[in-house]
Amino acid sequence: MSKIHVSCTINGDPQEFLCEARQSLLEVLREDLGFTGTKEGCNDGNCGACSVTLDGVLVDSCLVLAVEAEGKQIVTVEGIAGADGLHPLQSKFLEHASLQCGICTPGFLVASKALLDAKPNPTEHEVRHWLAGNLCRCTGYDKIVRAVLDAADQGS
Amino acid sequence: MKDFEYTTPQTLREAVKLLAEKGEDARVLAGGTDLIVQLRGRRFQPERVVDVKKIAELNELSFSARKGLRIGAAVPCHRIYKDAEVVERFPAIVDSAMIIGGIQIQGRATLGGNLCNASPSADTIPTLIAYGATAEVQGPDGKRKIPVEEFCTAPGRNALQPGEILVCLQIPQNKTNSGAHYLRFIPRNEMDIAVVGVGAYVELGGRGKNQTFKSARIALAAVGPTPIFARDAGDGLQGQPVSEESILAAGEAAKAVATPISDMRGPAEYRTHLVGVLTKRALIGAVKRARGQYVPNAVQENGHPVYTLS
């Protein structure tokens, strides 16, 4: 079938692309647009490695069709750091050694930023509940949770 | 995933036409958290996907005394559990909407999709049945209403005919001295599929020690080919005193209509036992809410509530 034209913004910049209806947003982000920070883990909505925000709402990009991005604002992990360097969450992930293999990290960062945007001072329970949709098979989560709580304390 | 034609109708009429033209070869897309997985797994290979998120009626989330709560079929969970009227008047809807997948899933998944997907373990369906919800459906021949307990016909199958679309879920206005609660059992804290789920709704009459059940509705998840409306278990409470004894009897009646299978989530005997436990707890939670007490759900902070009547 013919390709479909989609206009959206990614990390604040206008973007246009052509895609097939069957392509996921994850696939187009990684393979056509070069936003390879967004990772493919399970590709069925369990692991959260492909987390992005769509008009400010945290979603798994493997469960969004790329054509659904028409007119939407997308933020990926590449959009988290500011012009003056790492986002406090990123710094705290480094400081607390909140990653080992790193595949889950972009998803955790995008999800954690969405949490702190919605709730600047979450409790540990809220952090753990919010991040339940992100799987990490290396760290055991404690270091990730500590980094997010620490970043919240710094008022990120 | 096989390619398909992607359509974005702006009106119900247009959507019905797009669906009716293709019959079984068209699928509705709302949140996509079931559909996209099914397309990828080739369980469905439709020629046309009809994205219904641009249709105004399917995005409605409103409450009024006359019409009760109206939840458009394309409203995602996160909008529902952040809505002040839902939180105050229909806390069992919040119980269900907050435990479906993680935050990412709740950003997209809809109650309408959960119902149409017709999984026996769907977490919102027992709650909708307990509240006496009605599904409003639009088809080529007009509108019709289906009680939610009649909507699911088999695993993955529902009462919609080709060309029909679920427009909204309607829940009657909450009565005074009523309350509801949904509970599921899973072996972890979140991100899992119900081993058993129970939704209970109660309306109480009288005061203090003379308090009785005016009415009750109980529905079960994951213990049969469809969600089960345990009508007799609820009806049996009518006129009964609010007591441990009457609640345990309702649990036994609910167990009697459960027809679970044994699978990797649990053996049938265990599931039947859980129906009794969860029915008791869901009823106690519903009674407490009817009395105006705060009962946290499975993922809210204040810990697991202790399910005793006093």
Separation CA B222–CA B261 (nearest Å): 9
Q: Which residue of B has its CA nearest to A130?
A: B103
**Which domains, ranges and CATH numbers included, belong to chain A?**
4-79 (3.10.20.30), 88-153 (1.10.150.120)
- Reduce the secondary structure of B137-148 to three states and give it as a string: EEECCEEEEEEH
Window 73-92 of A: residues touching B by CB (8 A cutoff) are: none
| Mean pLDDT along residues A58-78 | 98
Q: Counting runs of H as helices and runs of E as strands, what totals does chain B give? A: 11, 14
Q: Which residues of B107-141 are buried (b: 16+ CB within 10 A; e: fewer)?
A: bbbbbbbbbbbbbbbbbbbbbbbbbbbbbbbbbee
Q: Is residue B185 assigned to a domain?
A: yes
Q: How is residue A39 annotated by DSSP? A: P
The dihedral region occupied by B23, where left means phi > 0, alpha psi between -120 and 50, and beta the remainder, is: left
Coil, helix or strand at residue B68: strand
B305: in domain: no
The answer to whether position B15 is within a domain reads yes
pLDDT at B73 over 80: yes
Question: In angstroms, rounded to a whole number, what is the distance separating the alpha carbons of residues B172 and B261?
Answer: 33
A60 touches chain B (CB under 8 A): yes
Residue A54 has pLDDT above 70, yes or no: yes
Q: How many helices (H) and strands (E) does chain A have?
A: 5, 5
Residue type, B73: A
* pLDDT given for residue A156 in this prediction: 53
Residue numbers in A near B47 (CB within 8 A): none
Question: CB B40: neighbour CB atoms within 10 A?
Answer: 16
Contacts of residue A129 in chain B, CB cutoff 8 Å?
Answer: 190, 299
CB A119 within 8 A of CB B87: no
Give which of B104, B110, B191, B299 to mutate to test A binding, by max A Cβ within 10 Å: B104
Q: Is residue B100 part of a domain?
A: no
Which residues form the domain of B21? Answer: 5-50
- Report the alpha-carbon distance of residue B93 to residue B198 in Å, rounded: 13
Q: Which two tokens stand for residue B23?
A: 């019959």
**C-beta neighbour count of A57 within 10 angstroms:** 17
- Do the domain assignments include residue B86? no
User: CB distance from B47 to chain A under 8 Å?
Assistant: no
Instruction: Provide the sign of the torsion angle of the four alpha carbons B220, B222, B224, B225, taken in this order.
Output: positive
How many whole angstroms separate alpha carbon B137 and alpha carbon B167?
5
The predicted complex's ipTM stands at 0.97
> Which tens digits make up the pLDDT trace of B75-118?
999 999 999 999 999 999 999 999 999 999 999 999 999 999 99
Tell me the shortest Cα–Cα distance from B86 to chain A, in angstroms.
19
In a domain, B64, yes or no: no
Residue B133 has pLDDT above 70, yes or no: yes
**Single-letter amino acid, residue B238:** Q
Could you read off the pLDDT of B173-202 as tens digits, one per residue?
999 999 999 999 999 888 899 999 999 999
Nearest C-alpha in A relative to B101: A133
Distances (CA, A) of B142 to B15, B27, B77, B258: 13, 19, 28, 35
Of A65, A114, A130, the CB nearest to B32: A65
Is B250 a domain residue? yes
pLDDT at B303: 60
The CB density around residue A125, as the number of other CB atoms within 10 Å, is 13
In a domain, B152, yes or no: no
Asked whether A147 and A95 are in contact (CB, 8 A), the reply is: yes
Q: Which of residues 106-125 of A touch B (CB under 8 A)?
A: 111, 114-115, 123, 125
Vertex B97 angle, CA A149 and A156, to 5°: 20
How does pLDDT run across A96-143, given as a tens digit for each residue? Answer: 999 999 999 999 999 999 999 999 999 999 999 999 999 999 998 999
Nearest-Cα distance to chain A for B163, in Å, is 21
**How many domains in chain B?**
2
Give the CATH number for residue B247: 3.30.390.50
Instruction: pLDDT band for A2, please (50, 70, 90 cuts).
Output: confident
**Does position B208 have pLDDT exceeding 90, yes or no?**
no
* Residue B309 pLDDT: 87
The residues, any chain, with a CB within 8 Å of residue B210's CB and separated by 6 or more, are B241
CATH assignment of the domain containing B11: 3.30.43
